[in-house]
Amino acid sequence: MIAGVDGFMYPNEVELQWSVLIVLYPYITGLVAGAFILASLERVFKVEAVRPTYRLALLTALAFLLVAPLPLQLHLGHPERSFEMYLTPHRSSAMAMFGFVYLWYLTVVLLLEIWLEFRADIVRLSQTTTGLTKIVYRALTLGSQNVSPAARALDDKVGFAITVIGIPSAFLLHGYVGFIFGSIKANPWWSTPLMPIVFLFSAMVSGIAVVMLLYMAAMKVKRRPIDMNCVDTIAKYLFYTFVIDFTLEMLDLIHRTYEADESFRSLDFMVHTRLMVSQIIVQIVLGTLIPLALLAMNQLWTFAEKTRRLMYAVAGGLTMIGIFAMRWNVVIGGQLFSKSFLGYTSYKLDLVTREGLLPAIALMLLPFAIFFVLIKLLPPWAEEPTH
């Protein structure tokens, strides 16, 4: 008997290949895509109520996007060779496109949109600050000091166009991550055409939740009043997106149960044993049903402001945990059963190894540190009226 193994595994399957770092990868890219889509609500779909979070959402997306490739890099057996994916991408590989999709999203969509949005502030700050800060802002102007109404109108036009391109790009970024898993025919836990769309909607759910939480937290820290119309609207969109996401996941579950193909018994047993806590309890009950109920209650009844804030904070926090659990169950769950369907292995999360818990926690905290720097550098509330 091998420790941690029940039944029969092919001998090379006992050790898991993709660790908690690969759980972080779709989680983080999901937050990017979701935050950007929330930003686009204001810009493209003219949902004025969410305007206070527009800049915040863009900076959130950037903070997470900068970290997105790090877990992958840390996971590679030969990180120094990762640039080969740019030089000699293998065209038939779903993974080979990641670098290009990433670069496109980072440079063409996010950096450009943020620059255009903040350009006037950058120019103003480059003129009003002194010393090193001035040099930084001068560099960020990229040599353009023109903030005439005509120039700003042009910025706005180009920014709008970029957001329009950015929406399908955000869909591409995360739908593509889903495809990396969904296209593996050898693994029935992953192999479903629903995977990209499930990933996409869960990304939107987590991205909207993180921006909502960050907005409320930032207002609290800055002792500014929370715009409840804005948070109510975000919560409404979170609820709608969550309903679609949960429906898709349930559709997948019902489809698997009803078809009951040769993998079903094995996977069903896994869900009832090794994934009981992470899937049933954390993902579905704590991370989905409870936040959905809290959000639904707010659609049906009107609660006092303080109660709403608390409900949204709890719902948002649980949503974040739930979506993380979903990524965990996809990535780790997909490796716990044997492709012979005759046995199960276990995942042992180390603490301080390269792919251990501590690096994972550090990688998860890093976007928040970057976010903190970004809001210091480019204050998202510069144009907001102070109350």
Stretch that binds another protein, among 63-71, 76-84, 205-213, 317-325 (CB under 8 A): 76-84
The per-residue DSSP string of 269-303 comes to HHHHTTTIIIIIIIIIIIIIIHHHHHHHHHHHS--
**Is 259 near another protein (CB under 8 A)?**
no
Number of neighbouring beta carbons within 10 Å of residue 304: 8
The residue within the footprint of another protein, chosen from 134, 138, 236, 339 (CB under 8 A), is 339
**Is 130 near another protein (CB under 8 A)?**
no
Amino acid identity, position 42:
E
The full length of the chain comes to 387
**Is 340 near another protein (CB under 8 A)?**
yes
**Is 46 near another protein (CB under 8 A)?**
no
**Is 75 near another protein (CB under 8 A)?**
yes
Minimum distance, C-beta of residue 96 to another protein, in the bound complex (Å): 4
Minimum distance, C-beta of residue 90 to another protein, in the bound complex (Å): 4
The CB-side HSE value for 348 (13 A sphere, CA atoms) comes to 9
Q: How far apart are CA 182 and CA 177, in angstroms?
A: 9
The size of the interface with another protein (CB under 8 A), counted in residues, is: 39
8 A C-beta contact, residue 83 and residue 266: no
Minimum distance, C-beta of residue 93 to another protein, in the bound complex (Å): 5
User: What are the angstrom distances between the C-alpha of 152 and each of 110, 159, 184, 191?
Assistant: 18, 10, 47, 47
Amino acid identity, position 50:
V
Stretch that binds another protein, among 78-86, 130-138, 234-242, 371-379 (CB under 8 A): 78-86
Minimum distance, C-beta of residue 341 to another protein, in the bound complex (Å): 6
Minimum distance, C-beta of residue 278 to another protein, in the bound complex (Å): 20
238: left (phi over 0), alpha (psi -120 to 50) or beta: alpha
The β-bridge partners of 7 are 343
Q: How far apart are CA 247 and CA 220, in angstroms?
A: 34
**Is 12 near another protein (CB under 8 A)?**
yes
**Contacts (CB under 8 A) with another protein, residues 95-114:** 95-96, 98
Q: Return residues touching another protein (CB under 8 A).
A: 8-13, 15, 17-18, 72, 75-78, 81-82, 84-85, 88-90, 92-96, 98, 180, 184-187, 334-335, 338-342
